[in-house]
Chains A and B, each alone.
Chain A
Amino acid sequence: GAVVSQHPSRVICKSGTSVKIECRSLDFQATTMFWYRQFPKQSLMLMATSNEGSKATYEQGVEKDKFLINHASLTLSTLTVTSAHPEDSSFYICSARSPASAEQYFGPGTRLTVT
């Protein structure tokens, strides 16, 4: 199947700083990517839909000014957690939709720890 990568796999940052997470589709072009967040022992929660060349669509309750999404190319979407706080510590996962099959392929996730 198609491959989606994320970078970094783990990051620790101090409270108040910003962190950028990259999501890349390695062998296909993705006009749409999705960002999820997962807290321990919970399911994945969709945060936003990232569309290439246009603004992201955020789910209800997700602050768009705190979680900045940029989808500048057909193979790269970035999520920036601005002014991170300890409660933002979570597992962040992206997915990319293959236009050929409409299946979604998930990245391996990024574990963010805010101290």
Chain B
Amino acid sequence: DAKTTQPTSMDCAEGRAANLPCNHSTISGNEYVYWYRQIHSQGPQYIIHGLKNNETNEMASLIITEDRKSSTLILPHATLRDTAVYYCIVNKGAQKLVFGQGTRLTINP
């Protein structure tokens, strides 16, 4: 699976949009971009995934660049409960997920 690079930590003000970047420059054509998050002492939670088109669901939006070498997860109106570690994972789908270090997002009041 392709490797991903994410910032170690980010801060965002409550109510603002949180934009989390992810680089995956070695992604191959049949690999998806998945985002999960882990709130302290809980199991990871699925957020969203995409192949090449932008995706949106009730939790977030996923913007994938045209060359697919990077993506951005957008939480449109961050709340304190969105404080978590966010993991960007590239995967062919239906395979084991390999977690990197992720981005520790802190939402500040």
- A108: min CB distance to chain B, Å: 5
Interface locus among A64-72, A77-85, A96-104: A96-104
The verdict on A105 contacting chain B, using a C-beta distance below 8 Å, is yes
- A66: min CB distance to chain B, Å: 20
The verdict on A91 contacting chain B, using a C-beta distance below 8 Å, is yes
Within 8 A of B (CB), among A40-67: 43-46, 49
Measured between beta carbons, the chain A residues less than 8 angstroms from B7 are none
Interface size class of A (residues with CB under 8 A): 20 to 34
| A95–B102 CA distance with the chains assembled, in angstroms | 18
Whether the pair B44, A1 counts as a contact (CB closer than 8 A) is no
| A80–B47 CA distance with the chains assembled, in angstroms | 30
Whether the pair A109, B97 counts as a contact (CB closer than 8 A) is no
| A43–B45 CA distance with the chains assembled, in angstroms | 14
